[in-house]
Structure 1
Amino acid sequence: MDLGFGREKRLLTPQQFKAVFDSATHKVSSKHVLLLARDNQLEHPRLGLVIGKKSVKLAVERNRIKRQIRESFRHNQSILTGVDCVIVARRGIADLSNIELRQQFDKMWKRLARQRLAADQANSTGQTNA
């Protein structure tokens, strides 16, 4: 499995972000973060980050948070195939240590994977009854 984070693994255009915001099929949230996701038709997941100056004042902190999120995403992308994710940071996220950030995101990816699995199972059982 390729653990890289090349251009193909990123949401790059405003349209790609808008698609996730407008039609997110999955939501995972915590006190500091909102994760929105929707299925894409690709074999790999893609990630977009929204970490504004309003929620994290210092550029050095925003960059640290992005680094931790990307690293966690890289290590968990095997359970996230075929999904576009947008992470929206909330106030207070800068107070978390690197370890706390990684733990929180590792949990969020697993919650998202479970949500998607449950939705897939519900869809497949719903189709057999029809």
Structure 2
Amino acid sequence: MAYRFRRAHRLLKTDDFSSVFSLRQARSNAFFQVYARPNGLDHARVGLVVGKKVARRANRRNYIKRCVREWFRLHRHELGSIDFVVRAKFAFDRSSRAEAVTALSTLFAKMSRCRVSSSS
């Protein structure tokens, strides 16, 4: 199984983000808010939103994005054909990374269950 994070697995265009936001199927916790929308492809894609209100310094915003991308890269084969937008709500650092990744895993699991139950 390939664990690469290719361009095809990213949401890049404003229209892609807008279509996910417009569906408004979302779950959230203290760290993240995750939006989801079926995409009609054979793989999942992810887009990230980390604003300056969350983390003022760019290196902290980039760290948050790297952590989310890494989690997605390792787990995308379990997610099906869905577009996800992950919005950070709280800045975290190395000391609280494990807690944030657990919170992210929980949100993606909830979104997957919701997708399965709504498509049945």
TM-score (norm: length of structure 2): 0.90
5+ long unaligned stretches in structure 1: 122-130
1:84 corresponds to which letter in structure 2? D
Distance 2:64 2:97 in 1: 8
After TM superposition, give the deviation of residue 32 of structure 1 in Å: 2.4
2:16 corresponds to which letter in structure 1? Q
5+ long unaligned stretches in structure 2: none
SS in 2 for 1:97: helix
In the TM superposition, what are the counterparts of 1:78-93 in structure 2 within 5 Å? 78-90=77-89, 92-93=90-91
SS in 2 for 1:34: strand
Distance 1:84 1:53 in 2: 24
How many residues of Structure 1 are paired with residues of Structure 2 in the alignment? 119
Distance 1:93 1:30 in 2: 13
Identity rate, percent = 34
Aligned: 1:74 with 2:78: no
Aligned residue number for residue 5 of structure 1: 5
Q: CA RMSD in A?
A: 1.5
Distance 2:105 2:30 in 1: 15
Distance 2:117 2:38 in 1: 14
